[in-house]
Chain A
Amino acid sequence: MTDDRKPTGVKRPPEMDFTALDAAEGMSVEPVTQWHLFRTRFGRHRLAMVSAGVLFTLIALAVFAPLIPGLKDPIDPLVDETGRALNLIAPRADFPFGTDQLGQDMLARVIYGGRTSLQVAGLTGLMVATFGTLVGAVAGYYGGWIDNLLMRFTDLVLSLPLLPVAIVAAAWLRETFEGREAMTLAVLLGTLLWGTLARIVRAEFLSLREKEFVEAARAAGARDRRIIFRHVLPNAISPIIVNATLVIGVAIILEAALSFLGFGVRPPTPAWGQMAAEGGRLAVGGAGAWWMVVFPSAALIITVLSVNFLGDGLRDALDPTQSIERK
């Protein structure tokens, strides 16, 4: 069917050049891509930029650890020429982070520990973001008995006492997944931590699905999937990012707690939480090996903070109502 009705619409005098008027007032008349806006806004968020750099460095170090020239093995105990163990050496030029009680190089262990800890944190964050968003979105968008079913299940998961369940599950799972502890821990924490995000996303969806722009999309012929992913989810992205970054911090800290209790990553595989816990024991135990606590803890704290700042920056950069001017 051809349709050649031609609307004329608003008649305006040709001398009114709005493009020139807007340009004169300093408004952008050039087409601006969303990617450009995102970059501009993100680039203005200095803390987020720095955090992105820090995280990138940490990840690169962990991934390419074996290729770093001069980095010692994280597991082999170091000995001097006479065969004496070089253990509990305070930081000095050849051991910038010192050595632990077994004579393992702390710098190497912190870098290799990042492999485990960042993996646990990243995977947990990803799992929680995916699963929590999915459950919350379906429950909030469809409502009714689906909502009831999913939310009661969420309540159940939220009501589980975190540490006891994690300890039992970790002890039980470690036999089955020997050697893949990081993955196991991530899956375990991911399964336990998605409840809060699911509730937040559900609440957002409940309010957003009543908005007229959702009706407008439906009137245009959009199906549920398009409405959910194109219209509702982008408007619920801020709380999702905030919660996911918080969960990443929690995951790193829980890994430390579980390791401290002996249910996390088992030595000799290094992980930051486990190292900090071990170092804490020794430092308090009178050996005075402060470097065994300080360096892994610093790595933990820097990562958690960076992830949070990065999340902040992302959230602001994705929000079109944020101005692109420097405040």
Chain B
Amino acid sequence: MTAPLLQITDLVKDFPVKSGILQRATGHVRAVAGVSLDVNKGETVGLVGESGCGKSTLGRMLVRLIEPSEGSIRFEDEDIAHLKGPELKAMRLRMQMIFQDPYSSLDPRSPVGNSVAEGLKIHGIGDSDERHERVMEMLDVVGLESYHAHRFPHEFSGGQRQRIGIARALIMRPKFVVADEPVSALDVSVQAQVLNLLKDLQKDLDLTLLFIAHNLAVVEHISDRVAVMYLGRIVEVTDRDSLYANPTHPYTQALLSSIPIPDPTVNRNRIVLQGDVPSPLDPPSGCRFHPRCPIAVEGVCDVEEPELLEVGDGKETHVAACHLRTGAHRHLDPAPR
């Protein structure tokens, strides 16, 4: 097997917490606490997790809008975690991001054609005629008309704006794109359009996509593989089908059980988690999920931090970080399957 396009190893991001009149750093929030993940060329990896679990921070680190505190990001055999200056600028051609909020991600004072063309201009690609042509081509690809280029963002609907955001990212012909909840701000009816557009483009352009979302249905629709994040760590990674058919980590199970089923006659077994997400300022000892975990075992889960290990359901790509479901303490699982 060839090396993955993107190889994330032990990535960490700490944000300082400042307080007092001198704004001294009095502590830090570990938003991403040691994440390792491989993304293969041409695949779509869904990244799910609840609000505040660090998934957006992770995505922003990958496209280097935030500099990682520790760890490495290998992209096409080059460590991009701490690139600076011209190397960083050159890297940006190969990696792009689609933003969450189509209302704040377009400059309200700039005609959308200029916004789409900006990347080309910054990198000095083509003369103004060629750039114009590429903008028109890109607008057409995302389903807008060429005369839209002269309009301003406020003249478009949310879905159209998000298409413009997609055009802006893809006009650079990147290899890897991080889509940070690209449809969560859109109406449900428009979500499908934008998702399908992304899916088509991904296939046409042989894109590699990291799709960040909190909506599991959306992730199921678009992803080849799914990574589940909880409080700054990845707790389970697997291909889409086995995630939905055979969720292993108790957190994944709880997440999946929360998907509404549009059928009142179905008897749902919802797993309702107790309590709130703990503060990342002071994360729990051992397994970060143990205070809310329905199957946590005292003396094991609150002591040792679990690693991502093979689940052993016949798929070597299915890994989870749970003492009771993978690894040495399996016999303690109160609800073995």
Q: Residues of A with Cβ closer than 8 Å to B?
A: 3, 5-10, 12, 18-19, 22, 28-34, 211-213, 215-222, 226, 230-231, 234-235, 237, 320-321
Within 8 Å of chain A (Cβ to Cβ): is B104?
A: yes
* Given A30-B147, A321-B108, A226 and B101 contact (CB-CB distance below 8 Å): no
B170 cross-chain contacts in A, Cβ below 8 A: 7
B143 touches A12 (CB 8 A): yes
A220 touches B63 (CB 8 A): no
A18 cross-chain contacts in B, Cβ below 8 A: 145
Contact with A along B195-212 (1 / 0, CB 8 A): 001001100111000000
Minimum C-beta distance from B197 to chain A (A): 6
B119 cross-chain contacts in A, Cβ below 8 A: 220-221
User: Could you list 29 examples of A-B contacts with CB < 8 Å?
Assistant: A3-B173, A5-B173, A7-B201, A7-B204, A10-B143, A10-B197, A29-B145, A29-B147, A31-B147, A31-B149, A31-B150, A212-B99, A212-B104, A215-B65, A216-B105, A216-B115, A218-B65, A219-B96, A219-B97, A219-B169, A220-B92, A221-B123, A234-B107, A235-B109, A237-B109, A320-B109, A320-B111, A320-B152, A320-B154
Q: For the complex, what is the distance from the CA of A33 to the CA of B152, rounded to whole Å? A: 12
A219 touches B92 (CB 8 A): yes
Minimum C-beta distance from B188 to chain A (A): 19
- The residue in chain A whose Cβ has the minimal distance to the Cβ of B98 is A216
Q: For the complex, what is the distance from the CA of A8 to the CA of B206, rounded to whole Å? A: 12
Minimum C-beta distance from B113 to chain A (A): 9
Q: For the complex, what is the distance from the CA of A217 to the CA of B110, rounded to whole Å? A: 12
Within 8 Å of chain A (Cβ to Cβ): is B67?
A: no
A9 touches B204 (CB 8 A): yes
Q: For the complex, what is the distance from the CA of A3 to the CA of B120, rounded to whole Å? A: 14
Within 8 Å of chain A (Cβ to Cβ): is B213?
A: no
Minimum C-beta distance from A201 to chain B (A): 16
Q: For the complex, what is the distance from the CA of A216 to the CA of B171, rounded to whole Å? A: 13
Which listed residue, B97, B110, B142, B149, touches A9 by the CB 8 Å rule? B142
Within 8 Å of chain A (Cβ to Cβ): is B89?
A: yes
* Given A31-B150, A213-B104, A234 and B201 contact (CB-CB distance below 8 Å): no
Which listed residue, A8, A237, A321, touches B204 by the CB 8 Å rule? A8
Within 8 Å of chain A (Cβ to Cβ): is B6?
A: no
Minimum C-beta distance from B302 to chain A (A): 38
* Given A10-B143, A213-B106, A221 and B99 contact (CB-CB distance below 8 Å): no
Within 8 Å of chain A (Cβ to Cβ): is B100?
A: yes
B104 cross-chain contacts in A, Cβ below 8 A: 211-213
Minimum C-beta distance from B289 to chain A (A): 31
B109 touches A9 (CB 8 A): no
A321 cross-chain contacts in B, Cβ below 8 A: 108, 152, 154
- The residue in chain B whose Cβ has the minimal distance to the Cβ of A10 is B143
Minimum C-beta distance from A209 to chain B (A): 12
Q: For the complex, what is the distance from the CA of A28 to the CA of B99, rounded to whole Å? A: 28
Most chain B beta-carbon contacts within 10 A, residue among A22, A213, A231:
A213
A219-B97, A222-B122, A321-B154 given. 17 additional CB < 8 A pairs? A5-B204, A5-B205, A10-B140, A10-B142, A12-B143, A22-B147, A29-B145, A31-B150, A33-B150, A212-B101, A215-B99, A216-B115, A217-B107, A221-B93, A222-B118, A234-B109, A235-B107
Within 8 Å of chain A (Cβ to Cβ): is B172?
A: yes
* Given A216-B99, A220-B119, A221-B93, A9 and B197 contact (CB-CB distance below 8 Å): yes
